[in-house]
Structure 1
Amino acid sequence: MDLDTITTILTPRDAAALPPWRAGDAWLAGGTWLFSEPQPHLARLIDLAGLGLPPSTVSEGGLHLSATCTIAELDGLALPRAWTAAPLVGQCCRALLGSFKIWNRATVGGNLCMALPAGPMIALCTALDGVCTLRTPEGGERRLPVADFVLGPQETALAPGEILLHVAMPAAALHRKTAFRRIALSPGGRSGALLIGTRDAGGTFVLIVTAATRRPVRIAFGTVPDVEGLGAALADAIPDALWYDDVHGAPDWRRHVTGLLAEEIRAELAGAR
């Protein structure tokens, strides 16, 4: 879609060249949402592609993704065999239903900053203990767990003028066993519930609930719980007001399928060795 209120497009070549933030500005990464509907309040786009951020870095310390890393680049990564959580990357990429054009433009950072409940990068990064690095308008940085970055539908912890630079996931999280479940009302539909379970070498079990809820929900246990314990924890962690309600699923349906998928994950990881 043409954005006919835009008068200026800037392409800074490094972070030091980022302009002071002002009303009517928008950061431009992939632009798959930005150009999908009218944006009459915008007058200037600041294109982040010129910053030249490395899409990804794989090291002994873990996985580092720039905000401008595309879904296609993420899906194409060759990850260490020792990272037992590696299949989760492809599973979450494929939960972003879109053409190859979308995959080659949509970015990890854009998916996080849009903060849509069904955003699969939110689920991935939350499950793997992702930490966001945010650049402040003054040029400083602050860090925030992804679980605390997304506050609700299209609502994040970003202050005006802040920008998400990258997300880091530690190696310890990538060595966990994982289980992934997703459901939608139709085969090609947006996720109605997307759940990820992880279990580390010490037996700690963590369940991440997204898409069904207005923000990501993280529930941790010292060991894999029994059926009753898991059900009670879900009820405590997700009050009625937190279940999401839109055309992709009613709250009572989302609650029901979340319980079913959570039990599947619990059973799978209980038997993991």
Structure 2
Amino acid sequence: MDLNTVEVIDVPTRRADVWPLGPDDAVLAGGTWLFSEPQVHLRRLVDITALGWPPITLDDSGIELAATCTIQQVSTLSAELPTLRGDWTAAPLLHQCCTALLASFKVWRTATVGGNICLSFPAGAMISLAAALDGIVTIWRADGSEYQLPITDFVTGSATNVLATGDVLRAVHLPAEALRATTAFRKLAPSPLGRSGIVVIGRLDDPADGGRCAVSITAATVRPYVFEFPGVPDHAALRAAHATIPDDAWTVDAHGDPDWRRGVSLVLAGQICAELR
């Protein structure tokens, strides 16, 4: 869709040139959502793709996904990791989470990690991935500083997050401890290619990393919920944790009633725990 109110497109090549950013400006990376519907308030686009960020950085601490990394690159990395890092057994989860995004292969090649996270929609596939793997986001501020926080604190509700005017998401880091874990994935959608109504992911850390178990629920809720246990929980412990999700935290839209999401997410979480035992 043409954004016929936009008057300027800036393409910074240095960090300092990204700012100033105001309420009439939008940061552009993939733009798959930005160009999907009218944005009548916008007057300027700031294209950050020329900043030259490596899309994926691997080191012993884990994986850093740049905000400009595409969904396709995340999916491809899932297949490459067994050769690059054979002990990162959570590798299949990267591609699995990509499939939770309602998008064609053409969109995968353009849509970015940063855009998916910053939109903060309940069914954000990269939010599901980061929540399951203890993802930490890095945010740049206009004054030259930056800060980090867990994805579970970044997303505050349906299409809301902690970003202030002028803030730019730089990257999300997935720690090696989480990548060494065994994972289990469940997704339900009203149709095979439809937007995810429920995404539940379980992660069982290697004994050398403490053997912790984490169960995350996304898409079904307006923000990520992650429950941690010292090991794979029994059904009573799982049910008690699940019951702490507030009534108003269940997503309300055409892709599933809140009561369905509440009940089925617990069933899927039980299946995941059984698989991880």
Hey, what does 1:18 align to over in structure 2?
Answer: 18
Alpha-carbon offset, residue 97 of structure 1: 2.9
Q: Distance in 2 between matches of 1:269 and 1:70?
A: 30
Task: Report matched runs for 1:137-156 at 5 Å.
Answer: 137-156=142-161
Task: Report matched runs for 1:200-239 at 5 Å.
Answer: 200=205, 201=207, 202-236=210-244, 238-239=245-246
1:188 aligns with 2:193: yes
Q: Distance in 2 between matches of 1:241 and 1:23?
A: 29
**Aligned partner letter, 1:216:** P
The more displaced of 68-77 and 16-25 is 16-25
* SS of residue paired to 1:95: coil
Hey, what does 2:266 align to over in structure 1?
Answer: 259
Alpha-carbon offset, residue 19 of structure 1: 2.4
- Which ranges of structure 2 fall in alignment gaps of 5 or more residues? none
1:241 aligns with 2:248: yes
**Aligned partner letter, 2:192:** P
- Which ranges of structure 1 fall in alignment gaps of 5 or more residues? none
Q: Distance in 2 between matches of 1:203 and 1:170?
A: 15
* SS of residue paired to 1:35: coil
Q: Distance in 2 between matches of 1:194 and 1:172?
A: 22
**Aligned partner letter, 2:55:** P
| Alpha carbons of structure 1 residues 23 and 239: separation in structure 2 relative to 1, 3 Å | closer
Q: Distance in 2 between matches of 1:246 and 1:144?
A: 28
* SS of residue paired to 1:194: strand
Alpha-carbon offset, residue 179 of structure 1: 0.6
Hey, what does 2:65 align to over in structure 1?
Answer: 65
Structure 1 segments (4+ residues) deviating >6 Å: none
CA contact (8 A) 2:232 2:273 kept: yes
Aligned residues: 269
CA contact (8 A) 2:135 2:150 kept: yes
TM-score, structure 2 length as denominator? 0.95
* SS of residue paired to 1:6: coil
Q: Distance in 2 between matches of 1:33 and 1:266?
A: 35
CA contact (8 A) 2:23 2:165 kept: no
Task: Report matched runs for 1:84-99 at 5 Å.
Answer: 84-99=89-104
**Aligned partner letter, 1:135:** W
The more displaced of 113-122 and 12-21 is 12-21
Alpha-carbon offset, residue 73 of structure 1: 1.1
RMSD over equivalenced CA pairs, Å: 0.9
Deviations 1:116-151 (A, max 9, x none): 101110010111111111000111111111111111
* SS of residue paired to 1:117: coil
CA contact (8 A) 2:117 2:126 kept: yes
Equivalent of 2:124, from 119, 138, 148? Answer: 119
Hey, what does 1:30 align to over in structure 2?
Answer: 30
Alpha-carbon offset, residue 23 of structure 1: 2.7
* SS of residue paired to 1:190: coil
TM-score, structure 1 length as denominator? 0.96
1:103 aligns with 2:111: no
The more displaced of 184-193 and 36-45 is 184-193
Hey, what does 1:51 align to over in structure 2?
Answer: 51
Q: What percent identity do the matched residue pairs reach? A: 52
Q: Distance in 2 between matches of 1:203 and 1:101?
A: 39
The more displaced of 174-183 and 222-231 is 222-231
Q: Distance in 2 between matches of 1:233 and 1:143?
A: 27
